[in-house]
């Protein structure tokens, strides 16, 4: 529903409630003491606390991705399960941890990658949207063959991202963000990923996620498109 319509509806309801309550109380108190009492109007809903938000929630996540690699010889498809946790530390600040494994192979390309990352997300909720920035550090254990990258590439890494979350209903939101991954050792991994996703809370505890990301991979060998589906399990529901 349009935020303006919500506010107008809430204002009308509050006004109607005020009139009805004041009229009833006026009749009762006037007969007893001649005094008239009123009640305060009902406050409009605060969209900053919409149930659609994922930012600021305590939850576990379980994802599965299908990644289509575009190599110089022929394409390959990878499967990538992952899990993570999000914990609010303060107003507008979340802590996150993610672990993912990926395997992809064909006759000209092979990849096995384990990655663990941890970091912070800073955000600010406005009425209707919330911009955010994320900074992660982590470590990856990567094995590959027939690519321009080393066959064994264990490395520390960092990941920075920026985007926006937009509630589109009481229980669903859209998220758009761009991320940059890089390694702390040569050859310097230098991935840019552009993502769009949708979250929906089916119940107060269970939510779903679907998304797609376009990656420009380091050394030109890991350009890909990844399709992701997942579940979210809220731990802060009443």
| Average pLDDT of span 96-100 | 97
Look over the chain and give the mean of its residue pLDDT values, rounded to a whole number.
Answer: 79
Distance, in Å, from the CA atom of 142 to the CA atom of 156, rounded to the nearest integer, reads 11
In this model, does residue 15 exceed pLDDT 90? no
128-131, Cβ contacts within 8 angstroms, sequence gap of 24 or more = 128/3, 128/47, 128/166, 128/167, 129/164, 129/165, 129/166, 129/167, 130/53, 130/55, 130/164, 130/165, 130/166, 131/162, 131/163, 131/164
Cβ atoms within 10 A of the Cβ of 43, count? 9
**Domains of the chain and CATH, by start:** 3-47 (no CATH), 55-234 (2.40.128.100)
**pLDDT per residue over 126-137, tens digit each?**
988 999 999 999
**Greater pLDDT, 83 or 67:** 83
Position 115 scores a pLDDT of 94
**pLDDT per residue over 195-218, tens digit each?**
999 999 999 999 999 999 998 865
| 117 touches 79 (CB < 8 A) | no
In this model, does residue 32 exceed pLDDT 70? no
**pLDDT per residue over 136-157, tens digit each?**
999 999 887 765 555 777 889 9
């Amino acid at each position: 529903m349009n935020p303006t319509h919500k506010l107008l509806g809430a204002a009308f309801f509050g006004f109607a409630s005020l009139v009805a309550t004041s009229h009833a109380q006026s009749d009762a108190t006037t007969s007893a003491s001649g005094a008239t009492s009123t009640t305060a109007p009902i406050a409009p809903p605060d969209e900053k606390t919409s149930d659609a938000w994922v930012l600021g929630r305590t939850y576990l996540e379980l994802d599965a991705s299908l990644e289509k690699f575009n190599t110089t010889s022929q394409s390959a498809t990878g499967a990538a399960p992952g899990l993570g946790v999000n914990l609010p530390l303060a107003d507008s600040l979340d802590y996150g941890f993610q672990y993912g494994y990926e395997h992809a192979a064909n006759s000209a390309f092979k990849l096995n990658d384990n990655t663990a990352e941890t970091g912070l997300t800073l955000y600010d909720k406005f009425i209707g949207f919330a911009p955010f920035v994320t900074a992660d550090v982590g470590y990856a254990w990567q094995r590959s063959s027939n690519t321009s990258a080393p066959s064994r590439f264990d490395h520390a890494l960092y990941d920075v991202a920026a985007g926006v979350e937009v509630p589109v209903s009481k229980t669903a939101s859209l998220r758009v963000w761009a991320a940059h991954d890089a390694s702390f050792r040569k050859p310097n991994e230098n991935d840019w990923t552009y993502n769009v996703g949708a979250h929906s809370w089916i119940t107060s505890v269970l939510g779903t996620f679907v998304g797609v990301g376009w990656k420009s991979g380091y050394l030109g060998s890991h350009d890909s498109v990844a399709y992701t589906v997942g579940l979210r399990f809220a731990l802060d529901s009443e």
